[in-house]
């Protein structure tokens, strides 16, 4: 009886290729899911940090000024809320428009909308003095991420991260 050594090698190679073809899509799907989850988590943490930074900057904002259009705007003193937010937002771009009071409410500073995927900031002042002398400041930061997979329908378009941070201003506290 002759002994054939080539047949088992060919069948084991074919078996390995078949197993790889069956297992690799599942493996890469799990790997891609882990990477996408990590990216979502990174963006969520960056938005939370940006809200904290915006609240801190709004608390130390020394005053508001009246713009040419008659709206109250941030004074950029000692630095702008947008700059502070960008420091905390890591690599997520921040809306560069200045925070101003665009509606009739004297408790809210907002930014004009921009196109693209940037963080937008809203500062809400609580207390009887409104924006002039609030007792607490709430920063609302909203970010709608863009992902290259959204054009293929593999990434949801309705994902919006919103974070809030509230800090007391300590108005009227003497030392």
Compute the average pLDDT of residues 85-94.
Answer: 82
CB-based contact 55:61 (threshold 8 Å): no
Distance (Å, whole) CA 7 – CA 3: 10
Compute the average pLDDT of residues 126-131.
Answer: 71
- Prediction pTM value: 0.72
CB-based contact 166:136 (threshold 8 Å): yes
């Amino acid at each position: 009886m002759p002994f054939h050594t080539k047949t088992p090698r060919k069948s084991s190679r074919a078996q390995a290729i078949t197993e790889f073809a069956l297992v690799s899509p599942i493996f890469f799907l799990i790997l891609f899911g882990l990477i996408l989850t990590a990216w979502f988590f990174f963006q969520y943490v960056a938005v939370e940090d940006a809200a904290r930074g915006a609240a801190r900057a709004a608390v130390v904002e020394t005053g508001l000024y009246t713009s040419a259009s008659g709206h109250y705007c941030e004074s950029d003193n000692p630095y702008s809320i947008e700059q502070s937010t960008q420091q905390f937002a890591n690599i997520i771009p921040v809306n560069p428009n200045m925070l101003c009071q665009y509606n009739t409410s004297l408790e809210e500073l907002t930014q004009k909308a921009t196109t693209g995927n940037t963080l937008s900031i809203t500062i809400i002042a609580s207390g009887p003095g409104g924006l002039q002398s609030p007792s607490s400041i709430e920063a609302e930061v909203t970010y709608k991420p863009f992902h290259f997979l959204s054009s293929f329908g593999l990434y949801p378009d309705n994902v919006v991260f919103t974070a809030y941070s509230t800090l007391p201003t300590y108005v009227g506290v003497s030392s």
